[in-house]
Chains A and B, each alone.
Chain A
Amino acid sequence: MNELCKKIRSEILSISHESGHGHIPTSFSIVEMLCAVYQTMRHDPKRPDMPDRDLFVLSKGHASLGFYCVLAGHGYFDFEDVHAFGAFDSKFGCHPDRLKVPGVEASTGSLGHGIGLAVGMALAAKIADSSRHVYTLIGDGESNEGTVWEAIMVATNLKLDNLTVLYDHNHSQGRCLPIQNPAERFRAFGCQVIETDGHDLEALKQALATPTERDRVRVVVGDTVKGYGCATLAENMYEWHRRSPKAEELNKLMGELNAAAV
């Protein structure tokens, strides 16, 4: 595991323990994908409103804790700030608010909305003849929402080759409405699809560095493990979906995380 990704996961565990709020497994599954985006896109953490920056929208907003820690890990603010996660007057809610957190481009939380916003942002860049690229990350559970597929249809029809959709294939919908062969589905919709290990940071960065095919929306399907890095979480993802660890559980999870090879 990449050292920064391990640090981010460690902070996620600590903050979840302190705050009593959860969504740890879904945050763990996207750490490498988000790090790859923030290590590839054009941005400046000291100037989050830089006019020609690329944009990222976390469509699965319930992974906000992972998102905040990735932003902290890339210099937007201190990890310490995020320890107020979910508190009454905190900037850092359990779903991200663009008006409160530097680097958050859209307030999300209701599934299936962020991708449509990202399509609008990418279309705006096209109208303006801007070289801006727009990234959005969607979940496999989120992709039960019909609006995800509406947005993909619209984006492909508009030939938005400045849009990259990262698909967190963490298999969380296995008990409900699983989406089999997501890569095949995105191809059927006309997207350029890159499949990769969603926890291999270098492979993800390579995927994002791959030039987009002209006129095609790029989709990176990251094969991920919900709770990646802690066996307890990965093997009990449903139990841990919203849970926050107690002190002894935190020690156990930290031990499992620390045992992961860097």
Chain B
Amino acid sequence: MRPQFKATVTELAAQDERIVIVLGDVSVYMFKDFSERYPKRFYNMGICENTLISVTAGLSSQGYHPFVHTICPFLTERSVEQIKVDMCYNNFAGNIVTCGATFDYAWDGATHHAYTELAILRMLPNMEVLHLGSNREVDALIRTQYNNSHPTYFRLSDHPHAIETNLEFGKGTLLKNEGAPVTVMTAGPILGNVMEACRDLPVNLVYFHTLKPIDKALIERFRDTEILVVHDAYGLHEAIAEVPALRMHYHGLPDAFCGWYGTVHDIRKRIGLDPAGIRAAAQALLARRQSPAVRPLARTGSER
């Protein structure tokens, strides 16, 4: 998704002189042509994520539309207070774009994992939170959201899906409606695994790229079903829970650091977020749905 991010922003910058790029020494080579075309609007500012956010807010205060970009946990979890105070409380907008979603840098260990930032940023007033899953979403949603009055968080991944989804901000996508008693809800790049897992299962499938604001109307349509939230980060489960009194179940991250290496696929497999693990979770809920009293599933995906 990073090349798409760069392509979209470079194209926009040709028409909008208020676009400024702030990098934390990541994706610098990729932005080489941007830096040559717009040297006054390109800053590889330093490995100082807190200050990158503050400077971004300061640029926004003067009418610019900055994009600040570096690795996910460092730009977000490390800088939560700068995002909260300098952007959200001050009502200075700007765009935070991260790479290294969840386990993209699996081989680097848990320091480079991103578990919490979608959930945290969702709770900050004024924020828009996007867990983008495909290149089409990156292109469409950057174009519609980059220059509004809200701080916007764009989470990119190196492992996008290629599934066609509704590209409208704040809207979910109904990918499968079987009139089934179980609805799987997911977000972001893991949709590829979820689709594969659920393709021939009698479940409904709903997808979101926007976690804040969440598409409550779409969720409401499935309130009479058992909802299985499948997500490789915190944030979607909490967003869906904004709709009261749903029967929700969560299949996602364990309450533990996923301290293995390898690839994103290795870790997803280990915690049951590969197609087989997701399928098993959906089948378990379907089986329980047959029994008269359905109780929430035990937290799954937590074996180590």
Hey, which bits of chain A sit against chain B, CB under 8 A?
Answer: 98-99, 105-110, 112-113, 115-128, 146-147, 150-151, 153-154, 157-158
Contact = CB atoms under 8 A, between A and B. Distances in A.
Contacts of B63: 124
B62 A128 contact: yes
B46 interface: yes
Contacts of B261: none
Q: Per DSSP, are chain A's interface residues mostly helix, strand or loop, or mixed?
A: helix
B68 to A, nearest CB: 10
Interface of B: 20, 40-41, 43, 45-46, 48, 50-51, 53-64, 81-82, 85-86, 89-92
A101 B53 CA distance: 24
12 contacts: A99-B91, A106-B90, A116-B51, A116-B54, A116-B55, A117-B57, A121-B59, A123-B43, A123-B55, A150-B50, A153-B46, A154-B48
Contact of B62 (A99, A109, A125): A125
A151 B59 contact: no
A118 B20 CA distance: 16
Given A106-B61, A113-B86, A119 B51 contact: yes
Given A107-B89, A154-B48, A158-B43, A117 B54 contact: yes
Nearest to A117: B58
Given A99-B91, A151-B54, A117 B46 contact: no
A124 B46 contact: no
A161 to B, nearest CB: 16
B85 A113 contact: yes
Contact of A107 (B46, B81, B85): B85
A124 B45 CA distance: 14
B54 A157 contact: no
A41 to B, nearest CB: 16
B85 A120 contact: no
A115 B54 CA distance: 8
Contacts of A158: 43, 45
A127 B41 contact: yes
A99 B85 CA distance: 13
Contacts of B45: 154, 157-158
Contact of A120 (B41, B48, B54): B54
A254 to B, nearest CB: 36
A107 B125 CA distance: 15
A136 to B, nearest CB: 10
Given A113-B86, A120-B60, A151-B55, 14 more contacts: A115-B54, A117-B55, A117-B58, A119-B58, A120-B57, A121-B58, A124-B59, A124-B63, A147-B54, A150-B51, A151-B51, A153-B46, A154-B51, A158-B45
A71 B153 CA distance: 36
A110 B79 CA distance: 13
Contacts of B86: 106, 113, 116-117
A116 B50 contact: yes
A150 B61 contact: no
B262 to A, nearest CB: 34
A107 B54 contact: no
Contacts of B55: 116-117, 119-120, 123, 151, 154
Contacts of A124: 58-59, 61-64
B58 A153 contact: no
Q: Which of A118, A126, A127 has the most CB of B within 10 A?
A: A127
